[in-house]
Structure 1
Amino acid sequence: MAGARKVLHLLTAGKFFNSYIAYVSYEFRLTNILSYSALPLLVFSKIFSHEALETYLPKIQLVIQDTLRVWSSHPGSISVYCEAQKLTFRMAIRVLLGFRLSDEELNHLFQVFQQFVENVFSLPVDLPFSGYRRGIRARETLLKGLEKAIQEKLQNTQGKDYTDALDVLIESGKEHGNELTMQELKDATLELIFAAYATTASASTSLIMQLLKHPAVLEKLREELRGNGILHNGCVCEGALRVDTISSLHYLDCVIKELLRLFTPISGGYRTVLQTFELDGFQIPKGWSVLYSIRDTHDTAPVFKNVDVFDPDRFGQDRTEDKDGRFHYLPFGGGVRNCLGKQLAKLFLKTLAIELASMSRFELATRTFPKIMPVPVVHPAGELKVRFYGLDSNQNEIVTETEAILGATV
């Protein structure tokens, strides 16, 4: 099902449907992997509130800056999608969960999580050496690692300077007289990691690819940052970057909107029919699942011109192609059950764009760009190999000590 009118009916007819985003899961729902639906909507609303995002932002910025320094110090190219997955995993662990893990522990946990994710789509046949068995074992190992990290977090509360998402979850349980068990905490932790991981890594990779393909967009973004006194060289000024400041950057907002229009990480969502209804002359029986396509809706929306072209200015004040009908544009779903983490996702992507523009020059390390695969999330079919170089406060490339020696005159 695609098209704004049909999607409008599907996403707003609450009495007819239960809804979910269709993306990485054994049977469409992440909660089938977990033991229960870990995070109530009320808790989710606290975790992703404006106040919470303001608290997360400095930590997100630091994680991104540290990552870009590592990328720039690498002697060769990096595989962007793989590194973006590591980045979003690190963000979830350090920012959302507040775990104080060593780099070695973090890398080990990431490898286990990767094995778990890679086997999510396996047929549920529990045989030795099957993907399903590998996924179950990876999940068990992962939950043991998460339990250790949770216990250490609960025991070491001194010196903590902010409230993370897991803190909100724990306190919410206490407020309602229902302190969460360790199993519930582990499941909720895994759900938070899952929610922050695949789609954000996909969009981050698409962002870097589009900035590579469209240098004029990157330069226009730098001009906006420069005009607002935000362009920097990786030096964090306390309080300089705020959520409201980022929200006021109109061209940056256009870039991220266009990115999510053209490269929506997930293909769509679905609703389970609670009551038989009719749509366009077809009767949809109770109990059926109805899928809606986000990508097809974006591609066929009459409000967008040249839909295959990456053009952030389509969302600018002069054009505002999205003004006619909100259900022509739905990268995070729609209706009362849209993605509650969308503000965090957009904040992360905007912060990444700011840091890319401020800290790095980057170039494609291969002759051509890889093709794009749409499932399970949008990602390069091959490796997107990119070289990163650090920039100083004057936007000049930082020469490493080795390069300086090699380039010195004798």
Structure 2
Amino acid sequence: MALYISFLLSNWMFSLLAAVVLALIILLKHKKNSIKNRKKLPPGDVGLPWIGETIEFFQAQRNNRLFEDFVQPRITKHGKIFKTRLLGSQTVIVNGAEANRFFLSNEFRLVISSWPSSSVQLMGKDCIMAKQGEQHRCLRGIIATALNHAGLESIVPKICSSVQLHLDTYWRGQDTLSLYRSTKILTFTIVFECLLGINVKAGLLTTFERVLEGVFAPTINFPGSRFWRAKKARQEIEKMLVNVVREKRNEMESNRNMEGGGEEEGMLLSQLVAAMIRGDITEHEVIDNVVLLVFAAHDTTSFSIAMTFKMLAQYSNCYSFLLQEHADIIRNKRPGEILTLEDIKKMKYTWQVARESMRLYPPIFGSFRKAVADIEYEGYTIPKGWKVLWTTYGTHYNAEYFEDPLSFNPSRFEEAFPPYVFLPFGGGPRVCAGYQLAKLNILIFVHYVVTRYNCSLLDPNEPITMDPLPSPSYGMPIKISPTL
């Protein structure tokens, strides 16, 4: 009996000891979590579960008033860094040049690019926007090779020819036209024919536009949904590009005895296929990056061109200065002689006008990143897994960087601005690889239009919408007449 009582007593003591140890473990874990939870999160309202402030965000974005209706009121209430919830994700929105520098320069270390699933599926999981680290650097290096100084110099005559042919085809004999639609057709053609060496077939632009309609749509792959239609269009494009890429590979492999393996200097498709032949990238990577580059190089550029002409139409004094610059260039050219890269370097005021237009009407509103570790910034903790959104408006519309920021003043670009202030093409390791090509497209198109046509807007107050990228609501109709 005494042995039994002793056995029960020892079991009771053991159970008590185990309970005490377990309680201590729970207490320590709770204390650790409490300390972690006491980390200061950015201020802000996250709204309803999952939905958060998504509806307000996209409503403001669609009306092209993301800064005025969504960002600015929260800056006033919470400061330059604040939290919200968008599309189910805890999100911190940051504003200012220092914030841009911190997050964009820490790509791959503290943050990584974070795009919606629909965008990744439609652009392609092997495109550069979905790549991280060394894979991203490899692809970017290939693209940069095609767009170096020699590549740009070789592409200028091609762009000039495309612009002149476009004006002869779509502008000659017309009284009115949609400037935005015209520039979309032109920039799309330039990407395919001048940069990739692929002939544009009828209906191809429409197919690409069907893909674009689904890049921010819910990934509901149900017949008739926007995403389903976009996926079908993507499959049509991929089928076409597979044939083009394989034909290009066969052509280049049959010319291996040529210096450089038959690569055409500055021809991006040739550079991508050459890398595929070397085994540096796969066929999927070639196709996905061609799809992405077509979107990146033509949609944003066509919008920037349209906004440049919008500003020129509204500010006649700026137009006069710009026109004189192009008249001086023509004066030193023989009749019919096309532009050179050196001519384009002389278009300094024109580029100031274009940059000021992109400051007021940025072709991208910003982009999302995802924290890959807890981030300490400005006294706040951004937990691992949270999204971070930087916006162009955070500096473009800020009087701290641009005096009287809502006024149109191209001369402000006579002076250089600090890094991470003017970001129409992004910044950091993911800065747009094709921004120099966009610059050529804008300047060459402006040159040939202003020296051949008089233009005026039919609706100077036409609103800008976002669906999903910014565009003039009515296509920017203009009245044109040949110059005397």
TM-score by shorter chain over 0.5: yes
What does residue 45 of structure 2 align with? none
Deviation string, structure 1 residues 161-193 (Cα, Å, up to 9, x no partner): 86511011112333x345743x44332321221
The amino acid of 2:191's aligned partner reads: A
What residue in structure 2 maps to residue 408 of structure 1?
none
The yes-or-no answer on 1:385 pairing with 2:477 is yes
Is residue 205 of structure 1 aligned with residue 306 of structure 2? yes
Unaligned 5+ segments in structure 1 are 397-410
Q: Distance in 1 between matches of 2:336 and 2:295?
A: 29
Q: Which residue type is aligned with residue 115 of structure 1?
A: R
1:154 and 1:345 mapped to 2: Cα distance? 28
Q: CA RMSD in A?
A: 2.8
Q: Give the AA of the match of 1:254.
A: Q
Residue in structure 2 matched with residue 128 of structure 1 by the alignment: 223
**Considering only CA atoms, is the larger Rg found in Structure 1 or Structure 2?**
2
Q: What is the 5 A alignment of 1:72-83?
A: 72-83=171-182
2:271 counterpart residue number:
168
**Residues in 1 aligned to 2:399 and 2:117: alpha-carbon distance in whole angstroms:** 29
Looking at structure 1, the residues matched to 162 and 435 of structure 2 have their Cα atoms a distance apart, in angstroms, of: 19
Identity %: 25
Residue in structure 1 matched with residue 157 of structure 2 by the alignment: 58
| Counterparts of 1:360 and 1:30, CA distance in 2 | 41
2:413 alignment counterpart: 315
Map 1:10-409 onto structure 2 (within 5 A).
Answer: 10-14=103-107, 16-20=109-113, 26-27=116-117, 30=120, 33-37=123-127, 40-101=139-200, 105=201, 107-151=202-246, 163-174=266-277, 176-178=278-280, 180-181=282-283, 183-229=284-330, 236-237=336-337, 241-316=339-414, 320=415, 322-323=416-417, 325-366=418-459, 368-374=460-466, 376-391=468-483, 396=484
AA aligned to 1:337 is R
Q: For residues 336 and 274 of structure 2, what CA distance do their matches in structure 1 show?
A: 30
Contact kept, 8 Å, 2:308 with 2:357, in 1: the verdict is yes
Paired letter, 2:166: T
Residue 15 to residue 155, structure 1, CA distance change in 2 (3 Å): closer
Which gives a bigger RCO, structure 1 or 2 (Cα 8 Å, sep 6+)? Answer: 1
SS in 2 for 1:328: coil
Distance in 2 of aligned mates of 1:331 and 1:144 = 33
SS of 2:420's partner is: helix
Report the CA distance shift for 1:112/1:348 in structure 2 as closer, same or farther (over 3 A).
same
Partners of 1:327 and 1:334 within 8 A in 2: yes
Match of 2:81 in 1: none
Contact 2:371 2:387 in 1 (8 A): yes
Instruction: State TM-score, norm by structure 2.
Output: 0.70
CA distance in 1, matches of 2:251, 2:399: 52
Deviation by residue 1:264-283 (Cα, 9 ceiling, x = unmatched): 10000232212212222221
Distance 1:253 1:75 in 2: 28
Q: 1:121 & 1:206 partners in 2: Cα distance?
A: 24
Structure 2 unaligned spans of 5+? 1-93, 129-137, 256-261
1:77-100 deviations in Å (ceiling 9; x for gaps): 212222222111111111111113
Matches of 1:144 and 1:347, distance apart in 2: 31
The 2-side partners of 1:231 and 1:286 are apart by 59
Aligned length: 374
Instruction: Note closer, same or farther for the CA distance 1:177–1:374 as it changes in structure 2 (3 Å cut).
Output: closer
CA contact (8 A) 2:276 2:286 kept: no
Q: TM-score, normalised by structure 1?
A: 0.82
CA distance in 2, matches of 1:130, 1:214: 43
Q: After superposition, what is the alpha-carbon deviation per residue over 1:226-280, rounded to whole angstroms, capped at 9, x for unaligned? A: 22346879x642xx52224312332122112212211110000232212212222
Instruction: Give distance in 1, aligned partners of 2:331 and 2:374.
Output: 54
Counterpart of 1:350, as a letter, is L
- One-letter identity of the residue aligned with 2:481: Y
Superposed displacement of residue 313, structure 1? 1.1
Amino acid at match of 1:283: T
CA distance in 2 between counterparts of 1:153 and 1:356 reads 35
